[in-house]
Amino acid sequence: MTQKIIIDTDPGQDDAVAILLALASPELDVLGITAVAGNVPLALTEKNARKICELAGRPDIPVYAGAARPLMRELVTAEYVHGKTGLDGPDLPEPTMPLQQGHAVDFIIDTLRSNDEVTLCALGPLTNIAMAFVKAPDIVERVREIVAMGGGLFEGGNTTPVAEFNIYVDPHAAQTVFKCGRPITLMPLDVTHQCLTTAKRVAAFRALGTRTGEATASLLDFFERFDEQKYGTDGGPLHDPNVIAWLLQPELYEGREINLEVETGSELTMGMTVADWWGVTDRPANVNYVREVDADGFYALLVERLAKLP
């Protein structure tokens, strides 16, 4: 049985690897990709999503453009990490597949209304998903689950001392989604910082001898440079592919059901994910918060699947 998914994303090199992993996995039926502003502005994220589909040999995947800014705040981007295009590293050609007509939020609404058991895979700020839930509350109960990359507790933040980028960009959207009442699995920095792009791991992609393998290695070579300098590690954390890997091999991960709230009132701690790991409040659990990963198993899955792409 295949699992129907929508990928909501702001590519970003790590988003690109997540998309490649999904498109290489027959267990997943990618109904569409919705782009949101985040790592770079919307005009680039929707183009980058199409570039990755074409790299994977999947120009049939519909790509929609969504929100160009957060719900209530000015857009913050991360070219200092991802480069001016968002996909700096390889020289990927301009996409020839069309951007779909219509708005990503409407695509999410229409798709959930016409399909059962759809999982939302959130790789960027949660603006599109929150807008869809607010515009069409009837779709919320039709969501099978939401798997998102964002937040952090034990690792702190990567954009402010307490806030991770995806949540910081649109904390109001994140709080809306986390309170939706549907099953949510969260891949925070506590997990993704265990998945370092070491030289040996990057070399395994290049050794595939394919255009996808070479492009992936080039993406990661560029992407890791910022975090290597920041953290002093061999390689940088690979964030978003954990969302897709969890759907494919959840046994690679460990976590627990906890309550999680998002700070939206304080500029000092804006976007902080207040994760009640130790159960010190009586607030009900709303998130499966993942804390541990078999990093070697994660990279083995990535290499094995990406080897199937051209």
Active site residues: 239
Half-sphere exposure (Cβ direction) of 218: Cα atoms closer than 13 Å: 15
H-helix segments, the chain: 13-23, 42-55, 79-82, 104-114, 127-135, 165-169, 171-178, 189-192, 199-206, 211-231, 241-248, 295-306
Q: Compute the distance between CA of residue 295 and CA of residue 297 in angstroms, rounded to an integer.
A: 5
Dihedral class, residue 98 (left if φ above 0, else alpha if ψ from -120 to 50, else beta): beta
* Closest C-alpha to 223, from 52, 19, 86, 53: 86
* Closest C-alpha to 286, from 145, 192, 189: 145
Contact status, residue 123 vs residue 146, Cβ threshold 8 Å: no
Q: Compute the distance between CA of residue 105 and CA of residue 86 in angstroms, rounded to an integer.
A: 22
Contact status, residue 227 vs residue 233, Cβ threshold 8 Å: yes
Contact status, residue 61 vs residue 33, Cβ threshold 8 Å: yes
3-state secondary structure of 295: helix
